[in-house]
Amino acid sequence: MKANIDIQTKEDKSYSVYINELKTLEFNTKVAILTNPKVSGLHLKTLLSKINANELYIITVPDGEEYKNLDTISYVLDRLNEHQLDRKSLIIAFGGGVIGDMTGFCASIFLRGIEFIQIPTTLLAQVDASVGGKTGVNNKFGKNLTGSFYQPKAVYCETSFLKTLPNREFGAGVAEMIKMALTFDKDFFEWFEKNDLKNEENLKYAIKKCIQTKARVVSLDEKEAGIRAVLNYGHTFAHVIENETNYCVYLHGEAVAIGIVMANKLALKMKLIDQNEFDRVEKLLKKYNLPTSYMIKNINNFYETFFHDKKTSNNKLKFILLNHIGDYVIKNNIKKEIVLNALKDNCIEK
């Protein structure tokens, strides 16, 4: 099973995303695998049994978003130099989105760019982060503010790696999947309502649907000049929640789940969706134990924090909202009072 990414530029940036098709990978070059202790402890032996290379190096970095920074990149680049990787060498990302984003960034700047492959091991990374070539790290000003668009040569998603994923991490991935169904595919959303991802075949099917959606979007708009921004549905709110809670209360996908509900509240007030659609979305998120509400302490501060998002340009807020389930609308000029009115149910001080 595979999906193709076909980015339309002069340079050929096409690649395939394979689902459960990782057989033996042969490289007559040097290969470095970037991973962390948790993922390597659980799955590296399996991966190594599938890789043949001239020389193979494992580079391990600490686990966690707090290590997604330029210090870690510098550490990895030093190891790549020490092992004398050259322009024909390849790096493999083996881990979740943190490892994937850092591997892609290292690959994009080492010797002015070498090839890399994504082997994502979290659900979120399989359905979203590993596909589409956004790479980078955080800095003291915010998340993912240093980085590049740099596409992998291939992506291999193996559902067997997901068996060791904690439930909360699984749920965080499901939030991003529901996001894709809600914005692009009504039938898929209805499928989601009727089927359970605990079933392995269902999980494989849903991963494939999400990758196909993301592949289509990225193929049309690699650098987020248009339709790719729709993948940020729910994220405008989520980023404020993550910021207010210092990134240590919610996983990103959990904050996205709350963000989806907040965006839907706004869409409901603007009559873009109806109460029944609002309730169906909330019910599906709850089925995967995702949080759906967050108490805002100060609504004006919450609103002002929207403007710190890197997706806000020229001080203009852009909201991605549902135009009924399965379709989206991009709204640029929603009045502040309308946004505050939609958020007021989530406020401690009314």
The residues carrying an active-site annotation are 112, 134, 176, 214, 224, 228, 232, 235, 239, 252
Please, are residues 114 and 85 in contact by the beta-carbon 8 Å criterion? yes
Kindly calculate the radius of gyration of the chain based on its CA atoms and give it in whole angstroms: 20
Cβ closest to ligand NAD, residue 69 vs residue 195: 69
Instruction: CB nearer to ligand GLY: give 79 or 311.
Output: 311
Exactly one of 228, 269, 287, 324 binds ligand GLY (CB under 6 A); that residue is 228
- CB closer to ligand GLY, 43 vs 134: 134
Task: Pick one of ligand GLY, ligand NAD, none as the site partner of residue 231 (Cβ within 5 to 8 A by kind).
Answer: ligand GLY
If binding is defined by CB under 6 A, does position 134 make contact with ligand GLY? yes
Output the CA–CA distances (angstroms, integers) from residue 120 to 39, 311, 319, in the order listed: 10, 25, 29
> Which among 301, 298, 296 is positioned nearest to 259, based on CA atoms?
296
**Is 96 one of the binding residues for ligand GLY (CB under 6 A)?**
no
CB within 8 Å of 187: residues ≥ 6 apart: 326
**183 touches, from ligand NAD, ligand GLY, none (C-beta below 5 to 8 Å by class):** none
Write out the DSSP string of 41-61.
Answer: IIIIHHHHTTEEEEEEEEEE-
Tell me how far the alpha carbon of residue 346 is from its chain's centroid: 26
- Site size toward ligand NAD (CB under 6 A) is 30
Q: What DSSP letter does each residue of 238-250 carry, written as one string?
A: HHHHHHHTTTSSS
* Binds ligand GLY (CB under 6 A): choice among 128, 158, 185, 222: 128
Exactly one of 47, 127, 231, 267 binds ligand GLY (CB under 6 A); that residue is: 231
Cβ pair 98, 76 in contact under 8 A: no
Quick check: 125 binds ligand NAD (CB under 6 A)? yes
Q: Is 266 in the site for ligand NAD (CB under 6 A)?
A: no
Q: Does 239 bind ligand GLY (CB under 6 A)?
A: no
- Contact footprint for ligand GLY (CB under 6 A): 128, 132, 134, 228, 231
